[in-house]
């Protein structure tokens, strides 16, 4: 029997601050049709989780220990080019904007953005990915 339902949108959250990870986990858990597939605290963990869980969308902090988000985004796109990456940062530096344009990310979201707006952005990019895979 054919079903018109989409599979849940698979999301990975990557941030070195535990409070941010847990807050986003709780916010995403209240959303229909979103499955949180993992939480990572640095870019290296993110790459390992992408290989294991194949998320549709990643919320990726830019400044982290071990491997920063910009470096991780380039590696992630080389192994999972259709994964959508939302750079998520509190940095308000023009150089970061230039670097994010050179990195392989799909959107940029400042950390002072309302949670509902971030979730809408996740859904927007996830919808685009689902539409391409149909």
Residue 39 maps to a domain: yes
Instruction: Identify the CATH number of the domain in which residue 23 sits.
Output: 3.40.50.2300
Residue 118 maps to a domain: yes
Judge whether residue 1 has pLDDT over 50.
Answer: no
**For the chain, percent of residues with pLDDT exceeding 90:** 57
Q: Which domain holds residue 32?
A: 9-127
Residue 67 maps to a domain: yes
Residue 112 maps to a domain: yes
Residue 41 maps to a domain: yes
Interior/surface letters 33-71, b for 16+ CB within 10 angstroms, e for the rest: ebebbbbbbbbbbbbebbeeeebbbbbbbbebeebbbbb
Interior/surface letters 114-125, b for 16+ CB within 10 angstroms, e for the rest: eeeebbebbbeb
If one counts the domains in the chain, the total is: 1
Task: List pLDDT tens digits, range 37-96.
Answer: 999 999 999 999 999 999 999 999 988 899 988 889 999 999 999 999 998 887 765 556
Residue 77 maps to a domain: yes
């Amino acid at each position: 029997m054919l079903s018109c339902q989409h599979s849940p949108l698979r999301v990975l959250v990557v941030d070195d601050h535990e409070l941010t990870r847990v807050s986003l986990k709780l916010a995403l858990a209240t959303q229909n049709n979103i499955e949180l597939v993992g939480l990572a605290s640095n870019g290296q963990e993110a790459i390992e989780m992408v290989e294991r869980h194949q998320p549709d969308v990643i919320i990726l902090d830019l400044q982290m220990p071990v491997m920063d988000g910009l470096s991780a985004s380039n590696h992630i796109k080389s192994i999972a080019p259709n994964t959508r990456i939302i750079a998520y940062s509190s940095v308000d530096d023009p150089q970061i904007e230039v670097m994010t344009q050179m990195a392989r990310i799909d959107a940029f979201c400042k950390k002072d953005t309302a949670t509902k707006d971030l979730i809408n952005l996740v859904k927007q990019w996830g919808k685009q990915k689902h539409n391409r895979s149909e």
